[in-house]
Amino acid sequence: MRKIYVLDTTLRDGEQSPGVSLSSQEKVEIALQLQRLGIDRIEAGFPITSRGEVTSVQEVAKVITNATVVAFSRSREQDIDAAREALKHAVDPCLHLFLATSPIHREYKLRMDKSKVLDTLEAAIRYGRKYFDKVEFSAEDASRTEIEFLCEVTDRAIRAGATVVNLPDTVGFATPEQFGRIFKTVKEKVSGIERIQLSTHCHDDLGMATANTLAAIEGGVDQIEGTINGIGERAGNTAIEEVALALETRGDHYGGAKTSLVLSEIYRTSRLVSKLTGMTVPGNKAIVGANAFAHESGIHQDGMLKNRATYEIISPETIGIRSSKLVLGKHSGRHAFKERLIDLGYTLDEERLNIAFAKFKDLADRKKEVLTEDIRAIMDENVTEGPVPYKLDSIQVSYGNHSLPTAAIRIVREDGSTVEEASIGNGSVDAVYRAIDKATGLHSQLEDYKIHSVTQGTDALGEVHVVLQMEDISATGRGISTDIIEASAKAYLDALNRLAVRTQDPEREGNISIQ
């Protein structure tokens, strides 16, 4: 087997998705799940962007013991010093430097000629190697860089002491054949290439991120970089789960190249990232989408009943989706619920288990049957949440086809005090949102609102996602309930709480968008 190392940048590039801002606690939760997934290198953040980012990377570095923790850095000493501070607790730290190399970046962004670029990257790598045994260098916009110069860049990075050289398709411009040829050429022409690992990092602007990454593997790369669910800047990054399953399923084509990921943790990881970032997974998303293992066509269903391999090249069990439909209800006890959570891969302490069980019993009182997906949805709600600025205490809505929709809500503030407000609106949800605005004193613009059902039937759990904008800050929110109005209120408050925290703590702002 030829091992392909995986660097996950969900916590760095993934967080650069518009509207996404993860707290330190959320980064730690995702990082621990990435460790369970078997990720080799976890890029925890970009420390120079803020003091809050330094703290978040430190918190991740404290808990990760079975993966390399990576900090991102421009080729500047002050950036490297911030990365040193952020990674001081890491068991296995790595500095990830970058500098643009393409003609358009050299001329318009850096205002450097080729010689200056080479000298700058060498100085940064040598400075970084004073403090780090592992230093990765990324030639930003490598796919639009002259191949001769790219070979010079790689050669200089190796001689300066880089242990990994990353050649990214920063703007998703490359085609698979062209991109694979870049790596073959570099491996042929650069002396000492065998001393380092060659890596790639692709974006999905033209929908070819996974194809380009697989072409790079064929071209000889040792490491691939991407995110869970493919989230990230603009159209996103290579979806790690897609590459891992392509190698697993088509090992005949890729010569036995494989990652060492624990594939059965993929679905759980996807759900966690979706929950904490507020970025829903499209139904038709490869591997982890809701329809990835759904069959509606009569011909397909007939084939599936005769032999699943007729229309499924991957079994759902491979990625951690169990085909069993264990049903729990209002008469189910705490022990049965705990065992089901363990079966689904959740391990909770007593306090968190009590919170989750209370939510389960509340749902069981509303539904005849609580299915696996209902339980996953319960767990997708943050049962470990700490103090938040505002919590929904109660909601009452009045609506009729000959009367204006009216909503009355009671909000509990962080200090324990309550406030009640009422409002009318163009519809029930609009009335609720106006009442919440009055109660919190926060006024934002609703940029997006989505509803989908978690399970089936008239008593199905409904899931609402919203995106709110306040001045130049945006935030996502999520809520679930059997009542879609309640779910809408929870989602709106979730987003408002994120906006409130971020406006009170500007240190969480300032991510620099690159790669």
Tens-digit pLDDT profile for residues 451-475: 877 777 777 788 898 989 888 788 8
**pLDDT classification of 365: cutoffs 50, 70, 90:** confident
CA trace torsion 97, 103, 108, 110 (10° rounding): 30
Cβ distance 411 to 391 under 8 Å? yes
96-110, 220-234, 305-319: range with lowest mean pLDDT? 305-319
Average pLDDT, stretch 144-150? Answer: 98
Min mean pLDDT across 24-28, 102-106, 504-508 is at 504-508
What pLDDT does residue 107 have?
97
pLDDT at residue 352 tops 90: no
Q: Per mean pLDDT, which of 251-260, 283-292, 393-402 is the most reliable? A: 251-260
* Residue 412, both tokens: 């509990």
Rounded Cα gap, residues 423 and 434, in angstroms: 6
Provide the mean pLDDT of the chain: 89
Average pLDDT for 151-166:
98
Q: What angle do CA 108, 112, 118 make, to 5 degrees?
A: 135
Stronger pLDDT, 512 or 257, i.e. the higher one: 257
Q: Cα–Cα distance between 49 and 319 in angstroms, integer?
A: 35
Estimate to the nearest angstrom the gap between the alpha carbon of 100 and the chain centroid.
Answer: 25
448: helix, strand or coil: strand
Cβ–Cβ under 8 Å, residues 247 and 257: yes
Q: What mean pLDDT do residues 480-489 have?
A: 90
pLDDT(347) > 80: no
**Within the chain, what is the greatest distance between any pair of CA atoms?**
79
The radius of gyration of the chain from alpha carbons, rounded to an integer in Å, stands at 24
**Helical packing angle, 209-219 and 176-189, nearest 10°:** 30
Query: Could you tell me the pLDDT band of residue 98, with boundaries at 50, 70 and 90?
Result: very high
Indicate if the pLDDT at residue 384 is higher than 50.
Answer: no
What percentage of the chain exceeds 90 in pLDDT? 65
pLDDT of 300 reads 64
How many CB atoms are located within 10 Å of the residue 127 CB?
A: 20
Q: Pick from 423, 430, 392, 432: which is nearest to 410 by CA? A: 392
| pLDDT the model gives residue 338 | 85
User: Count of CB atoms within 10 A of residue 293's CB?
Assistant: 18
* Contact by Cβ (8 Å): 457, 371: no
Q: What is the pLDDT of residue 327?
A: 60
Measured in residues, the chain has a length of 515
